[in-house]
Chain A
């Protein structure tokens, strides 16, 4: 991956990130220094299975919640939001 140009720009919690083509949204979230989810009791969570089974990687993409980010490739200009931000703005879950 390192030899490919980071030609795809997206945002993760309003922070700009550039990734190589073929990068999953889950990898982009970790690359940007975030975790994907906050659990019902308030723990930070990040991907476990990497294959769309565990649902730990779910994030909001362009306003659509509960997207499994490990099975979705980054596309130019998408906006990814994790629970860290959703919760601050009175969002999806209350721990």
Chain B
């Protein structure tokens, strides 16, 4: 037996939740697949102090008929109307697997952080900015701990503000972008009322924080844990004691599933029309995979995709107009977060670039392409399948990184060989 839905939404962040709710409210039989323990994605990760919009959408989701497949991860998509998924979790000692059919697919697969390798970045307690934030929201105590937040993008401020609220000691916030560029970006977001509110909120949390621009970590030191971080700003270089380094260089979209389906990718993002329809019929895409634009744009895109997928084209078009007005923010953010070319000098010869296979910078730089590097070194062929080192290799070596094939994630052999098996109940509780 296998489950089937009119519309299957992949990813339960803001875009996916909005899409699922709107499609279900239109009377469609909707499934919502997500690989985390609870809906909300990364930005609305379960915790106190969620923004009002999160509560509004969560309440609508709870009241809807959406079938929630929480803790499920899609690993293959043999045809546009069929996905294969696996469930893992502490409760089940055996992995469950399922085949899920659908009339339309709405892909809201979100984004991950971009990581750049520097000496010491593989030390325990060196994490992503969002990575440390997620760990803290998952129960890691941070009160009284010294933290350096570094990288680029508005996420750094949000993470620093949240960690400070949890009584972390923010040693430094290091933004790689120069102040002049940030000033231009700030001028742009002043034209957006909701973003302005975000900015004010961060500024209230920030006074007293050592916020540095044109600044980044060049090395992390420690035995079996991080102990200190060396920072550079212009010609100046110095070290600070720190128990955690939260370092992420903005976001890269999760486009593996759209790519596997054959959706056209433009400049690294999933190409869609105004109604969020991809190049593949009945496959829609919403949220960060179409361009890094934040929660409000994701909500708009999720709703637009769901309206279009459920045949309410006129309503979808009116939302599409609102969306177009916000695309300038996506471009401005992209420009503000552009990486300084000097960051290409971060890795030393013996710095590990591929953390799964421990492949070092010196063993990679000589290869002319991602494919060559994979064949000769196994770079990008470990469990993460290049999701971490791929974005680094694109920036460091200028390689085009693309080689998506099933399974999208390592899965158990039983899931791989199974066919037409589905232990799915009709309605799951998270």
State whether A50 touches B135 (Cβ < 8 A): yes
Please, which residues of chain A bring their CB within 8 A of the CB of B139?
1, 19-20, 22-24, 27-28, 31, 74
Candidates B88, B89, B135; contact of A47 at CB < 8 Å: B135
B122 contacts A39, C-beta separation under 8 Å: yes
Contact yes or no, A70 B134, CB < 8 A: yes
Q: Does A14 contact B (CB under 8 A)?
A: no
Q: Which residues of A contact B93 (CB under 8 A)?
A: 62-64
Contact with A along B102-134 (1 / 0, CB 8 A): 000000000011010000001011111011111
In the bound complex, CA of A74 to CA of B71 (Å):
14
Q: Is B141 an interface residue (CB 8 A)?
A: yes
Give the distance to chain A from B34, nearest Cβ to Cβ, in Å. Answer: 10
A72-B132 in contact (CB<8A)? no
Contact status B384-A51, CB under 8 Å: no
Number of A-B contacts (CB under 8 A): 132
> Quick one: given A51-B112, A75-B91, are A27 and B382 in contact (CB under 8 Å)?
no
Digitize A26-47: 1 where CB-to-B-CB distance is under 8 Å, 0 elsewhere: 1110110001000111011111
Cβ of B138 and Cβ of A49 under 8 Å apart? no
**Docked pose: A50 CA to B243 CA in angstroms:** 17
State in angstroms the CA–CA spacing of A58 and B71 once bound together: 16
Are B383 and A58 neighbours in the complex by a CB distance under 8 Å?
yes
Chain A interfacial residues counted at CB < 8 A: 46
Which residue of chain A has the shortest Cβ distance to B129 in the bound complex? A50
B140 within 8 A of A: yes
Q: A55–B98 Cα gap in the complex (Å)?
A: 23
A92 to chain B, nearest CB (A): 12
Q: How large is the interface on B (under 10, 10 to 19, 20 to 34, 35 or more residues)?
A: 35 or more
Q: Taking A45-B355, A71-B37, A72-B37 as contacts, is the C-beta distance between A51 and B388 under 8 angstroms?
A: no
- Collect the chain B residues with CB atoms within 8 Å of residue A75's CB: 90-91
| Cβ-defined contact, B90 with A78, below 8 A | yes
Q: Which residue of B lies closest to A55 (CB)?
A: B383
Interface: A67 (CB within 8 A): yes
Confirm or deny: A83 has a beta carbon within 8 angstroms of a beta carbon on chain B: no
Interface centre among B126, B134, B224, B388, by most chain A C-beta atoms within 10 angstroms, is B134
Cα A47 to Cα B226 in complex, Å, equals 13
Q: Which of A27, A28, A75 has the most CB of B within 10 A?
A: A27
**B45: min CB distance to chain A, Å:** 9
Q: How far is the CA of A65 from the CA of B141 in the complex (A)?
A: 26
CB pair A62–B90 under 8 Å, yes or no, is yes
Set of chain A residues within 8 Å of B127, measured between Cβ atoms: 46-50
- Give the top 5 A-B pairs by smallest Cβ distance, nearest first: A23-B139, A50-B134, A46-B124, A24-B138, A50-B131
A-B contact pairs, 7 of them (CB 8 A): A2-B141, A27-B140, A48-B126, A48-B131, A48-B355, A50-B132, A70-B138
Q: Which B residues are within 8 Å of any A CB, using their own CB?
A: 35-37, 42, 46, 71, 73, 88-91, 93-95, 112-113, 115, 122, 124-128, 130-135, 138-141, 143, 224, 352, 355-358, 382-384, 387-388, 410
- A-to-B contact residues, CB < 8 Å: 1-2, 19-20, 22-28, 30-31, 35, 39-41, 43-56, 58, 61-64, 66-68, 70-75, 78
